[in-house]
Amino acid sequence: MSLKEEFLWGGAIAANQVEGAWDINGKGISVADVASYKPKVDVKDYAAHNTITSEMIEKARADRTTEFYPKRRGIDFYHRYEEDIQLFAEMGFKTLRLSIAWTRIFPNGEEKEPNQLGINYYKKVFEQLKRHNIEPIVTLSHYEMPLELSDKYNGWVDRKLIDLFVKFSEVCFKEFGSYVKYWLTFNEVDSVGRHPFTTAGIVEDKCIEYSYEEAIYQALHHQYVAAAIATKKCHELIPESQMGCMLTKLTTYPNTCNPNDVLLSLDSNLNNYSHADIQVLGAYPPLYKKYLENKGISLKKEVDDDKILKENKADYLAFSYYMSRTESADPTKERAAGNTVMSVKNPYLPSTDWGWQIDPIGLKISLLELYDRYQVPLIIVENGMGAKDEVDEANKIHDDYRISYLKQHIQQMKEAVDLGVDLFGYTSWAPIDLISASTSQISKRYGYIYVDQDDLGNGTQERLKKDSFYWYKKVIETNGEELG
């Protein structure tokens, strides 16, 4: 048996994509609540539609409906968490990765006291997980910061955000520390560069005294420092805790062995690693520092920042993996969509309906690379396939394509473990259909559990078990030995 007996099998969700209940019990408006569903945009072209303007935000604020703002309604997990967790337990989940909506705890981000109703809600969720022996892995910030902090400070560009985030984190550690051992600071911290508004609340038209690019790198710096301080507090307040950092693993291949292609792919991989280097190794890598210098970016740092990073490294490295990328020096090469990033089409790989290239071996490569580089425990906290599902007359969903995707990835994961990678868990994205982060669709379905809702919010919200539900149950039961 290649996986440890205590291997954490489960699934991952994020508050803004499942909870709904966006304006009740004191919750403030978050950046996710103004993300709109764009029925006219080609789903393979979404990477080009990440930008949000002040005008778009104002329009969204004025509109209190949920039709075109699906993250406001989610899948109503807020009211149905008991039933949903019960279903996860039925599959045998050992863990559930979930996030806490900052705006439920500090609605605008700057209140003196936290919102007790928000705290009570998460305690109930954790109680329900405990009842089923499901270990929570909690992300403190998963694309859902208070919109007010974006409006007022242009998000993480302002250093003030460090203190506000640390204050929010401390409340979480104090209130939920008895339930939660595994924590993560920022979901896919590297994604600030790909969607600065979603991850860091940065609006381009508000970048006046500094460029958009400077804003992005400055915000990233603030998030690294905030993560390091939160790590310190977490260790102080919850002695047994483990604080991880999280990376979008964007493994990039050269399109050919032309050294120009190789160089481009190397650049892309180094750039991707730099975010984990800072959090796991505790310092900006020299090549990344030079890269910023060459771009003319001079970060505003305080004297102790480097020391804080050095002294408060992440205990483990979590990452998401959906696809690999390919780079080519030839600009005429056909492009392919991906997780908010476009790449060159890899002729050896099939793609999902959303154009993401399916590459199970890429997961093994990623695990080997990451473990070799960092030598800390790893966990795969997102992996899955967005696909269209059909419900047949008997109310069944035969999602063999999803089973095939997951099976191949788990197989490669096991092979990497056999080669010596220290991996302590796998949480697929997502155990239940939810609202897509990038396209705000629900028709891009990831779950083992089907949710009766369409992209405009019509439907009963009824939950149905797909074929993959029974398949994953067996996988967990046999600790990954029976993949079908």
**DSSP strand pairing (449-451 vs 463-465):** antiparallel
We find the least distance from the C-beta atom of residue 66 to ligand BG6, in angstroms, to be: 18
For 374, the token pair is 């960092």
Q: Which residue in the list 382, 462, 481, 482 is annotated as catalytic?
A: 382
Which three-class secondary structure state does DSSP give residue 201?
Answer: coil
Residue 44 DSSP one-character state: G
Distance (Å, whole) CA 53 – CA 42: 20
We find the least distance from the C-beta atom of residue 32 to ligand BG6, in angstroms, to be: 10
Residue 315-344 contact track with ligand BG6, rule CB under 6 A, x = bound: -----x------------------x-----
18 contacts 437 by C-beta, under 8 angstroms: no
Residue 277 DSSP one-character state: I
Among 11, 20, 338, 386, binds ligand BG6 (CB under 6 A): 386
Residue 122-151 contact track with ligand BG6, rule CB under 6 A, x = bound: ---------------------x--------
H-run or E-run covering 381: strand 378-382
390 part of the active site: no
We find the least distance from the C-beta atom of residue 246 to ligand BG6, in angstroms, to be: 8
* Interacting residues with ligand BG6 between 159 and 198 (CB under 6 A): 187-188
Could you tell me the end-to-end alpha-carbon distance of the chain, in angstroms, rounded to an integer? 16
We find the least distance from the C-beta atom of residue 247 to ligand BG6, in angstroms, to be: 10
Asked whether position 436 contacts ligand BG6 by CB under 6 A, the answer is: yes
For 216, the token pair is 């992005």
Which three-class secondary structure state does DSSP give residue 296?
Answer: coil
Residue 214-253 contact track with ligand BG6, rule CB under 6 A, x = bound: ----------------------------------x-----
Among 382, 399, 433, 455, binds ligand BG6 (CB under 6 A): 382
The one-letter amino acid at 120: N
Q: How many CA atoms lie within 13 A of 438 on its CB side?
A: 23
We find the least distance from the C-beta atom of residue 427 to ligand BG6, in angstroms, to be: 11
Stretch that binds ligand BG6, among 33-41, 67-75, 272-280, 437-445 (CB under 6 A): 437-445
Among 291, 104, 120, residue whose Cα is nearest residue 193:
291
Residue of this chain nearest to ligand BG6 (CB atom) = 438
Distance (Å, whole) CA 161 – CA 155: 7
Among 8, 14, 35, 101, binds ligand BG6 (CB under 6 A): 14
* Helix locations, 177-304, DSSP H: 196-200, 212-237, 259-276, 286-294
Stretch that binds ligand BG6, among 105-113, 217-225, 310-318, 436-444 (CB under 6 A): 436-444
Q: How many residues bind ligand BG6 (CB under 6 A)?
A: 16
CA distances from 356 to 65, 321, 351 (A): 31, 11, 5
We find the least distance from the C-beta atom of residue 194 to ligand BG6, in angstroms, to be: 9
47 contacts 341 by C-beta, under 8 angstroms: yes
Residue 336 DSSP one-character state: E
* Interacting residues with ligand BG6 between 396 and 435 (CB under 6 A): 429
Q: Of the two residues 148 and 382, which places its CB atom closer to ligand BG6 in the complex?
A: 382
Which three-class secondary structure state does DSSP give residue 93?
Answer: coil
Residue 437 DSSP one-character state: T
We find the least distance from the C-beta atom of residue 46 to ligand BG6, in angstroms, to be: 8
* Interacting residues with ligand BG6 between 16 and 35 (CB under 6 A): 17
Q: Of the two residues 269 and 436, which places its CB atom closer to ligand BG6 in the complex?
A: 436
Beta-carbon contacts of 114 under 8 Å, excluding residues fewer than 6 positions away, are 105, 106, 168, 171, 175
Distance (Å, whole) CA 173 – CA 102: 13
Q: Of the two residues 427 and 439, which places its CB atom closer to ligand BG6 in the complex?
A: 439
Q: Of the two residues 153 and 319, which places its CB atom closer to ligand BG6 in the complex?
A: 319
* Residues belonging to the active site: 382
Question: Which residues bind to ligand BG6, rule: CB under 6 A?
Answer: 14, 17, 143, 187-188, 248, 320, 339, 382, 386, 429, 436-439, 444
